[in-house]
């Protein structure tokens, strides 16, 4: 039997709290690989749409401090402040995703 499970919240609600600065960072730093909506646009890049916020925070900090390494992300993460990381994790985690579940 198939069912549907929704992840995240709508961008409509999240957008109210998303600063212009964060949207600009998504557009300039993130979307080239991950898409503005978290659908990967580059082979090998992960989808981020509806991803768990805690996971995104941990991974962005790991790229920034060097404990996780990947050529593009290790460069990009070093440009991010703590507030940027919070805002970008909020951006991608808040995209609404529906998953077809198997019961």
Interacting residues with its own copies (CB under 8 A):
5, 7, 10-11, 36-40, 43-47, 49-52, 54-55, 58, 67-69, 95-102
Do the Cβ atoms of 40 and 34 come closer than 8 Å? yes
CB of 47 to its own copies, least distance (A): 6
CB of 64 to its own copies, least distance (A): 16
When the beta carbons of 42 and 75 are compared against its own copies, the nearer one is: 42
CB of 99 to its own copies, least distance (A): 4
């Amino acid at each position: 039997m198939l069912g549907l499970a929704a992840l995240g919240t709508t961008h409509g609600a999240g957008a109210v709290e998303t600063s212009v600065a964060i949207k600009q960072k998504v557009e300039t730093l993130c979307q080239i690989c991950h898409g503005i909506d978290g659908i990967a646009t580059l082979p090998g890049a992960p989808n981020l749409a509806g991803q768990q916020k805690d996971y995104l925070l941990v991974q962005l900090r790991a790229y920034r401090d060097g404990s996780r390494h990947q050529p593009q992300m290790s460069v990009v993460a070093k440009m991010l402040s703590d507030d940027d990381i919070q805002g970008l994790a909020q951006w991608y985690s808040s995209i609404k995703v529906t998953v077809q579940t198997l019961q």
